[in-house]
Amino acid sequence: METTKNYFFSDMAVMLGRSMRHILRSMDTIITVTIMPIALMLLFVYVLGGAIQSGTDNYVNYLLPGILLIAVANSVGYVSFRLFSDVQRGIFERFHSMPIARSAALWGHVLTSLLSNVISIAVIILVALIMGFRSPAGVLSWLSVAGILALFTLTLTWIAAIAGLSASSVDGASAIAYPIHFLPLISSAFVPTRSMPSGVRAFAENQPVTSIVETIRALLANQPVGSKIWVAIAWCAGIMLVAYFFAMRAYKKREAR
Amino acid sequence: MTQNEIAISVKGLKKSYKNVRVLTGVDFEVRTGSIFALLGSNGAGKTTIVKVLATLLKQDSGDVTVNGFDVLSKPENVRQSISLTGQSAAVDEVLTGRENLIMIARLWHLKHPPQVADDLLKRFGLTDAADRRASTYSGGMRRRLDIAMSLVGRSPLIFLDEPTTGLDPEARIEVWKIIKELAGSGTTVFLTTQYLEEVEQLADRIAILHKGEIIVSGTLAELKKLFPPAQVEYIEKQPTLEEIFLAIIGKKKEK
Ligand SMILES: Nc1ncnc2c1ncn2[C@@H]1O[C@H](COP(=O)(O)OP(=O)(O)O)[C@@H](O)[C@H]1O
Ligand SMILES: [Mg+2]
């Protein structure tokens, strides 16, 4: 029916408003996605920073990209959790029995993930500026950074969606967060990979987060990004498409069979 | 009966989950404006029937129309004309009672969502709790909010899947009152329950679901004739659902 299509965006706005409230009313979420990354940044810069040989004179500049990815990675466990509780409590069933677009409920969660990360990333960058972060990057570079962060967020969000839609327990839904938390830690987010033992270094240099971190770092420092940016985009886009496919399959399985 | 008088028509409904045959051929009709109760024990397939009627689940075979629309070919029209109160109270616990109602009113694209919410909060005795998160509500309040959310769209047909299971007696009586008022205002109510008492309180017509089929349907008076007589011990004891099944199945075999 036509009405359903006409109302798609207003329905999405309702869904978005609803899950943004979930985030803003959960102290736990706010701490994990914003305060924790900021605390990590303070720790690394003011406690460990003196001892780390990053090869740049401003360690905040080196650290910020990794901190932003950690903030995004920390947020996706909550995406799984929110999706899982909607399925479990019958809220999706309520929405699906109403005359609204079937996909609005799911896309509402995806958009919420994007918007909430935009907010926490903005806050973290603000704190970084206060701590001495400076960037000579122009508008185009900043837009590229925004694009890559959005792509990274969507990729992790769709992975989280698979878990949230197909898990049979809360723990199962949130378990997806752990491997994702780990990736930024074993990358060049905090220290250059050349300081790592060879096995770890091989992993760190070839996993997606390193290419993403280094692309963002180069863009923010106004240095040539080379092929890194394409490796980063290929990783994200590839994983996202696969994750999207499986998430949609899980979603369809949940709704009208 | 003409088309308009039939709110729900189910013919030869079959549904299996993988290799579990849940519904093996269900037939019934629900008249517009009546309270129809589907009685069955736990696992009989009541929720499965509700999900098929509410377009959440596709049947394997059988003709199912709701408000004149086929559930498979016209699901949008069906959804436009029904409201579902599922087995678990589907309220958003992080939101307040008022926010829950406003959210649903927005999704129905109504003109004045806050006004709609206020009216329903008042009608369901939730005004004082309106601005508290639903997670702080008692089971009865949650169920009332849940039903209120289903009334936002003013649908002519409402499904209530075990609306009183897990409620204390006082809350149960309140829900009964709400259901009676609903039917009084002309809404068709499709109710599922495990309790004979609930059926006696509310229903115009009853169908008993057992082992994948409707084993008997009719008015309460018609069914009472089939029930085993109430046993006089020290107090008069209602027959249990199981005793009724046995009695009915027994009588059918005698014929
Ligand atoms: N998604 C499902 N997959 C497999 N079996 C199911 C599923 N949903 C329900 N069942 C089974 O179907 C039967 C009927 O379930 P249901 O319709 O929920 O019964 P009721 O609502 O009467 O308690 C039960 O045996 C239940 O275990
Ligand atoms: Mg049930």
**Cα B15 to ligand 2 centroid, rounded to whole Å:** 15
Q: Which residue of A has its CA nearest to B59?
A: A257
- 3-state helix vs strand vs coil in chain A, percent to 5: 80, 0, 20
**Cα A226 to middle of ligand 2, angstroms:** 59
Neighbours of A148 (CB within 10 A): 22
In this model, does residue B231 exceed pLDDT 60?
Answer: no
Asked whether the predicted pLDDT for residue A256 surpasses 50, the reply is no
CB A30 within 8 A of CB A24: yes
Kindly report whether the global pTM for this prediction surpasses the value 0.95.
no
If 0-12 CB within 10 Å is exposed, 13-18 middle and 19+ buried, where does residue A213 land? Answer: buried
Give the CA diameter of chain B.
Answer: 60
Confidence at residue B18, expressed as pLDDT on a 0 to 100 scale: 86
Span between the terminal Cα atoms of chain A, in Å: 20
Checking if the pLDDT of A2 tops 60, the result is no
Q: What is the percentage of chain B residues whose pLDDT exceeds 70?
A: 89
Tens of pLDDT, residue by residue over B198-211, are 888 899 999 999 98
Q: What are A32's two structure tokens?
A: 């994990």
Run of H or E including A208? helix A208-220
Q: Which of B13, B17, B26 to mutate to test the pocket of ligand 1 (most atoms within 8 A of CB)?
A: B17
* Yes or no, beta carbons of B88 and A90 under 8 Å apart: yes
The finding on whether B42 has its CB within 6 A of some atom of ligand 1 is yes
Is B29 a domain residue? yes
Mean residue pLDDT across chain A = 90
Per-residue pLDDT at A50: 74
Q: Is the pLDDT of residue B251 over 70?
A: no
- Per CB-CB distance under 8 Å, the chain A contacts of B108 are 98-99
Higher-confidence residue: A151 or A187? A151
Position B237 confidence tier, pLDDT thresholds 50, 70, 90 = low
Stretch 37-66 of chain B: residues touching chain A, C-beta under 8 Å: 51, 54-58
Q: What is the pLDDT of residues B62-74, one digit of tens each?
A: 999 999 999 999 9
Tell me if B215 sits within 8 A of B208, measured CB to CB.
Answer: yes
In a domain, B183, yes or no: no
- The answer as to whether B75 is a domain residue is yes
> Is residue B14 situated within a structural domain?
yes
Q: Give the tens place of pLDDT for each residue, A208-224.
A: 999 999 999 999 999 98
- Per the CB < 8 A criterion, the answer to whether B95 and B106 are in contact is no
Q: Which of B48, B59, B91, B92 to mutate to test the interface with A (most CBs of A within 10 A)?
A: B92
Which of the two residues, B230 and B33, has the higher pLDDT score? B33
Q: Rounded distance, CA A19 to CA B47, Å?
A: 28
Q: Looking at the domain assignment, is residue B214 inside a domain?
A: yes
Q: CA B16 to CA B56: how far, in whole Å?
A: 15
DSSP of A120-133:
HHHHHHHHHHHTT-
**Which pLDDT value is given to residue A171?**
87
Give helix A104-130 / helix A59-88 axis angle, nearest 10°: 160
Give a yes or no: residue B132 inside a domain: no
* pLDDT the model gives residue A195: 85
The SS3 assignment for B156 reads: coil
What is the CA(A251)–ligand 1 centre distance, in A?
19
Mean pLDDT to the nearest integer, A133-153: 95
Mean pLDDT of A71-95: 93
Q: Among A3-7, A173-177, B155-159, name the one with the lowest average pLDDT.
A: A3-7
SS3 B32: coil
> Would B152 be classed as within a structural domain?
no
Q: What percent of chain A has pLDDT over 90?
A: 68
Region B55-63: what's the mean pLDDT?
95
What is the residue-averaged pLDDT of chain B? Answer: 90
Domain carrying residue B62? 3-33+40-87+157-163+190-254
Ligand 1 atom at shortest distance from the alpha carbon of B42? 23
Residue of A97, A102, A103, A257 to mutate for B, most B C-beta atoms under 10 A: A97
The ipTM of this complex is 0.89
B95 interfacial to chain A (CB closer than 8 Å)? yes
| Predicted confidence (pLDDT) per residue in B183-197, tens digit | 998 999 999 999 888
* Residue A128 pLDDT greater than 90, yes or no: yes
Most confident of A174-183, B93-102, B224-233: B93-102
Spatial separation of the C-alpha atoms in residues A233 and A231, rounded to whole Å: 6
Tokens of B143: 């169920």
State how far residue B207 is from chain A, nearest Cα, in angstroms: 24
Q: How confident is the model at residue A116 (pLDDT cuts 50, 70, 90)?
A: very high
Q: Which amino acid is at B34?
A: S
Residue B136 contacts A where some CB pair is shorter than 8 Å: no
Q: What is the tens place of the pLDDT at every residue in A32-77?
A: 999 999 999 999 888 887 777 777 778 899 999 999 999 999 999 9
C-alpha to C-alpha distance for A14 and B107, rounded to whole angstroms:
7
Q: What would the two tokens of residue B153 be? A: 């769209």
- Judged against a pLDDT cut of 80, whether residue B238 lies above it is answered with no
* Whether residue B88 has its Cβ less than 6 Å from ligand 1: no
What's the pLDDT at A149? 97
Q: Is residue B124 part of a domain?
A: no
Q: Nearest residue of B to residue A93 by CA position?
A: B56
**Stretch B89-109: mean pLDDT:** 96
Q: How many domains does chain B have?
A: 1
User: How many other CB atoms are found less than 10 A from the CB of residue B208?
Assistant: 24
CATH code at B239? 3.40.50.300
B33-52 per-position pLDDT tens digit: 999 999 998 999 999 999 99
Position A52 scores a pLDDT of 74
Do A98 and B79 count as a contact with CB atoms less than 8 A apart?
yes
Characterize the bridge pairing of strands B6-17 and B35-39: unpaired
The residue-averaged pLDDT of A165-174 equals 88
A84 Cα: distance to centroid of ligand 2 (angstroms): 20
Residues in a beta bridge with B69? B66
Q: If you measure from the C-alpha of residue B45 to the centroid of ligand 1, how many angstroms do you get, rounded to a whole number?
A: 6
The answer to whether A94 contacts B106, with C-beta atoms less than 8 Å apart, is no
